């Protein structure tokens, strides 16, 4: 059993720290944010992440997981230190590494015996070397450490599952000693033969960016094919299903929508494209995915405006779904932000409902009317836009919706509503790539 410290208690640090404690190790999650740590010490979870509460509670009760603001002490006592602080997008489109380098300095100053230093945060390719240099500079001459790049592949809303049952563990290090220690950290995964990919530090950093950028590209690709389906009366669901039957393509991440959001795809694609340009390489595919994504968000605005011949002034529009996807309250880069801004700019009144993200969006758009359920949100509105695929939106009673609205007008950006019923009830509707002669309205 190892003594392990995670620095940073965001959704990566908290999920990974609780997950590693579940593997049987002694874990301390450290953060300078006093309020966050106070919440965690009271057994409250500061973020919405299904299953995280139980995972934390189980391991705190077992005495394997604790929380502290004393980062220095947490580093000193650790055999393995994970860096899991945020790397938000800076103004220049690159990742802001201020927090990363600050933590590296703290590690150097507290290197009282051999440790493995492991970066889980998503950092630009080449950052590992900079972290090593900072620690080298600040540590005493005789203090040894090894460095590992161990990127995460956690999706918000399924982060606990993604951590405990990963497709692979990537370990970027040139130290056999550190590799053995990391295999012990991930012992339960190692035993059930989860692929443990050992590679160089910079290759591990590249794997993270290349994976995320590819997933973003896949989404922009299916979104553009869906837009063409609109024009040729093809059904994107049938297209995606048939494409996904090809093992080389896989059915995952082929769901068209209003454009990707979140704290990763937008930031990571821009950081990768920027880094490439600085190296004299243009990533036309990644740049294309970024451009197509912004265009998709704008296309959704044009679609809802299209119901009113472009003039939404004085209309009341309901937005169902505010977070960047379902199962999360995170609104970072959500398509709802572009949609609400455009509706307000066009003189429309906006009502909104999201099962858990109302509060976060109200900080950005206080003039929007936030409702406690979809029925209240659509009542007396001239149109409705569905932006996330919450189960409760899939089950909407369309007859009741029609009765509540001034006009039966709906933009379903997630293609979750049964088209046959929309037709039968006389809705004017738009979606993403399913306007055509839809064979089945699954």
Which residues contact ligand UDX (rule: CB under 6 A)? 152-156, 212, 215, 219, 253-255, 257, 260-262, 264-265, 324-325
Q: Distance (Å, rounded) from C-alpha 220 to C-alpha 335?
A: 14
Which H or E element spans position 196?
A: strand 196-199
29 is catalytic: no
Which token pair is 53? 């509460």
Q: What are the backbone dihedrals phi and psi of residue 352, each rounded to the nearest 5 degrees, phi first?
A: -145, 150
For 122-142, letters b (16+ CB in 10 Å) and e give: bbbbebbeebbebbeebbeee
Burial status of residue 193 (CB atoms within 10 A of its CB: 0-12, 13-18, 19 or more): exposed
Q: Rank residues 207 and 219 by Cβ distance to ligand UDX and give the closer one.
A: 219
Length of the chain equals: 442
Q: Rank residues 260 and 429 by Cβ distance to ligand UDX and give the closer one.
A: 260
- Roughly how many angstroms between the first and final C-alpha of the chain, as a whole number? 49
Q: Rank residues 5 and 212 by Cβ distance to ligand UDX and give the closer one.
A: 212
Listing DSSP states for 248-290 in one string gives TT-STT----S---SSSHHHHHHHHHHHHHHTT---HHHHHHH
The strand pairing partners of 117, in sequence order, are 81, 147
Smallest distance, ligand UDX to C-beta of residue 293, A: 9
Handedness of CA 56, 61, 67, 72 (dihedral sign): negative
Listing DSSP states for 86-122 in one string gives --PBPTTSSB--HHHHHHHHHHHHT--S-EEEEE-S-
Smallest distance, ligand UDX to C-beta of residue 156, A: 4
Smallest distance, ligand UDX to C-beta of residue 251, A: 9
Q: Rank residues 153 and 427 by Cβ distance to ligand UDX and give the closer one.
A: 153
Smallest distance, ligand UDX to C-beta of residue 402, A: 27
| Other Cβ atoms closer than 10 A to 348 | 22
Tokens 């704008």 belong to 298
Q: Are 428 and 385 in contact (CB under 8 A)?
A: no
Please tell me which residue in 29, 118, 264, 371 is annotated as part of the active site.
264
| Other Cβ atoms closer than 10 A to 246 | 9
Q: Rank residues 66 and 335 by Cβ distance to ligand UDX and give the closer one.
A: 335
Q: Rank residues 21 and 293 by Cβ distance to ligand UDX and give the closer one.
A: 293
Q: Distance (Å, rounded) from C-alpha 152 to C-alpha 166?
A: 9
- Enumerate residues 6+ apart whose C-beta is below 8 A from 242: none
Which token pair is 339? 């949609």
Q: Rank residues 141 and 167 by Cβ distance to ligand UDX and give the closer one.
A: 167
Which token pair is 69? 């603001």
Q: Rank residues 267 and 349 by Cβ distance to ligand UDX and give the closer one.
A: 267
Q: Is 413 helix (H, G, I), strand (E, B) or coil?
A: coil
Smallest distance, ligand UDX to C-beta of residue 333, A: 8
Which residues are known to be catalytic?
264
């Amino acid at each position: 059993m190892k003594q392990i410290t995670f620095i940073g208690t965001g959704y990566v640090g908290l999920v990974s720290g609780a997950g590693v404690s579940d593997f049987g190790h002694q874990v301390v999650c450290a953060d300078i944010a006093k309020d966050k740590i106070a919440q965690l010490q009271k057994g409250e979870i500061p973020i919405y992440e299904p299953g995280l509460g139980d995972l934390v509670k189980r391991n705190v009760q077992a005495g394997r997981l604790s929380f502290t603001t004393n980062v220095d002490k947490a580093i000193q006592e650790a055999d393995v230190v994970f860096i899991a602080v945020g790397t938000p997008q800076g103004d220049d489109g690159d990742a802001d590494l201020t927090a990363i380098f600050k933590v590296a300095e703290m590690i150097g100053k507290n290197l009282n015996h051999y440790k493995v230093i492991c970066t889980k945060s998503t950092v630009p390719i080449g950052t590992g070397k900079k972290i090593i240099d900072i620690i080298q500079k600040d540590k005493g001459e005789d203090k040894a450490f090894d460095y590992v790049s161990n990127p995460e592949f956690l999706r918000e809303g399924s982060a606990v599952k993604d951590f405990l049952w990963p497709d692979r563990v990537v370990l970027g290090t040139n130290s056999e000693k550190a590799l053995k220690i990391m295999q012990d950290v991930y012992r339960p995964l190692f035993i059930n033969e989860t692929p443990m990919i050992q590679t160089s530090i910079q290759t591990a950093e590249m794997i993270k960016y290349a994976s995320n950028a590819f997933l973003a590209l896949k989404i922009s690709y299916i979104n553009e094919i869906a837009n063409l389906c609109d024009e040729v009366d093809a059904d994107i669901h049938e297209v995606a299903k048939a494409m996904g039957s090809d093992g080389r393509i896989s059915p995952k991440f082929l769901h068209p929508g209003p454009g990707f959001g979140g704290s990763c795809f937008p930031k990571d694609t821009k950081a990768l494209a920027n880094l490439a340009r600085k190296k004299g390489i243009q990533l036309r595919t990644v740049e294309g995915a970024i451009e197509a994504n912004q265009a998709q968000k704008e296309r959704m605005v044009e679609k809802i405006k299209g119901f009113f011949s472009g003039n939404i002034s004085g209309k009341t529009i309901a937005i169902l779904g505010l977070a960047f996807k379902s199962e999360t309250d995170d609104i970072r880069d959500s398509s709802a932000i572009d949609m609400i801004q455009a509706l307000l700019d066009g003189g429309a009144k906006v009502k909104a409902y999201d099962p858990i993200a109302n509060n976060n969006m109200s900080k950005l758009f206080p003039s929007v009317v936030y409702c406690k359920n979809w029925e209240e949100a659509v009542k007396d509105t001239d149109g409705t836009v569905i932006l996330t695929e919450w189960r409760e939106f899939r089950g909407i009673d369309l007859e009741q919706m029609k009765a509540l609205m001034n006009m039966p007008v709906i933009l379903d950006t997630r293609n979750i509503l049964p088209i046959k019923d929309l037709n039968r009830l006389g809705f004017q509707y738009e979606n993403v790539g399913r306007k055509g002669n839809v064979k089945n309205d699954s």
